[in-house]
Amino acid sequence: MSLFNKLFSYLHDSTEIDPNLLKFLPRSYKRVGHIAIINLDDQLLNYSSIIGESLLLFLSGSIRSVARFTKPIEGIKRKPTIELLAGDTTLDTVHVELKTKFLINPSKVMLSAGNHNERKRIIEFISKINKKK
């Protein structure tokens, strides 16, 4: 069962959210370390903490916080604007990609999926330098 379907069923049966609004629930999330970041439809903003707490139930384990993007990521620095909805309030997290650990705070910078190859190139370059030492 998909995350959306689990969330839909749980919220339909256990909360005061208007069932007609449940079709606007997020269908995916971006994972950055221990934080799941969602896009939340404006129609669900009054229920953001309920949705955040519910997502923590289904993503428990390595996900300890749920946040939402409050506006689109823009600019050359890719500085996001996020709001914590539920869970651990520590936004500094260790994001693992390409067997490399990045200490990152997703409220200050966001890794773009389109720059995956650039991060790979930098990691390989640093690995070569470290092997020469």
pLDDT tens-digit map of 2-29:
888 889 998 988 778 999 999 999 999 9
CA 95/CA 46 separation, integer angstroms = 30
34 dihedral zone (left: phi>0; alpha: psi -120 to 50; beta): alpha
Cα-based distances in Å from 27 to 24, 45, 64, 97 = 9, 16, 19, 23
Q: Which amino acid is at 29?
A: Y
Residues 133 and 130: their CA atoms lie apart, in Å, by 5
pLDDT of residue 36: 95
pLDDT band at 82 (very low <50, low <70, confident <90, very high): very high
Residue 77: pLDDT over 80: no
Structure confidence at residue 119 (pLDDT): 84
Q: What is the DSSP letter of 74?
A: E
User: Does the structure show a pLDDT above 80 at 74?
Assistant: no
Q: Do residues 74 and 47 make contact, with C-beta atoms less than 8 angstroms apart?
A: no
pLDDT, greater one: 110 or 120: 120
